[in-house]
Amino acid sequence: MNVKNTKTDEGFFPTGVLFVCHGNICRSTMAESVLTDLVNRRGLLEKFRISSAATHPDELGNPPHYGTREKLRQEGIPLVPHRARLLTRADGEAYDHIIGMDEENLRHMKRILGPSQEGKISLLLDYTDHPRAIADPWYTGNFDATYNDVKEGCEAFLNCLQREGKLR
């Protein structure tokens, strides 16, 4: 998958990454924390701007779901301070990569962001060898499976940036 970056005066960073799911309290906040931890461990945190948002207003202002917080704690990954917020059209201009978790997210992302931003939109597991949706643990209750998928997707996304020479 081709990964695009917005060029700045300093080169091709910081890379803006926005994770998106339905309510912005489970999958997207987990991905935000996981990717932040991965880039921090690689010494690349200053080269990224990472956030997350929702496609629906159901959970606006709420903190991450208890299951997300607990799973990240079990894995030793710091939770990024967060309150659920709604994806906006302006996010299309502000981020280089807008990454959803499932096909429903993708449909709503395209509707909210408009056709001019479609090149920035993808699904997290599209970067892996086995593209698929990440099940919503709000419904499944399985935060372990969600974490495994999110970690696989975030690692694959970073590997894609590296293969394309966009990680320094």
Which strands make up the sheet holding 121-123, listed edge to edge? 48-54, 15-21, 97-100, 121-123
Residue 2 has pLDDT above 80, yes or no: no
What is the tens place of the pLDDT at every residue in 3-32? 444 444 455 559 999 999 999 999 999 999
Domain that holds residue 115: 15-162
* Structural domains in the chain (count): 1
pLDDT at residue 4, as a whole number: 47
Angstrom distance (rounded) from CA 23 to CA 138: 9
Q: Does the residue 8 lie in any domain?
A: no
Q: List the beta bridge partners of residue 123.
A: 100
Residues designated catalytic: 21, 27, 136
Q: Is residue 150 part of a domain?
A: yes
Report yes or no on 168 lying in a domain: no
CATH number, domain at 111?
Answer: 3.40.50.2300
Would 10 be classed as within a structural domain? no
Q: Is 146 helix (H, G, I), strand (E, B) or coil?
A: helix
Residue 48 lies in a domain: yes
Taking residues 125-139, what's their average pLDDT? 96
Identify the three-state secondary structure at position 91: helix
For the chain, what is the radius of gyration of the CA atoms? 15
Query: What average pLDDT does the segment 124-133 reach?
Result: 97
Residue 37 within any structural domain of the chain: yes
Residue 158 lies in a domain: yes
Q: Which helix (H) or strand (E) holds 38?
A: helix 27-41
DSSP state of 70: H
pLDDT in tens, 89-121: 999 999 999 999 999 999 999 999 999 999 999
Q: Encode pLDDT of 50-72 as tens digits.
A: 999 999 999 999 999 999 999 99
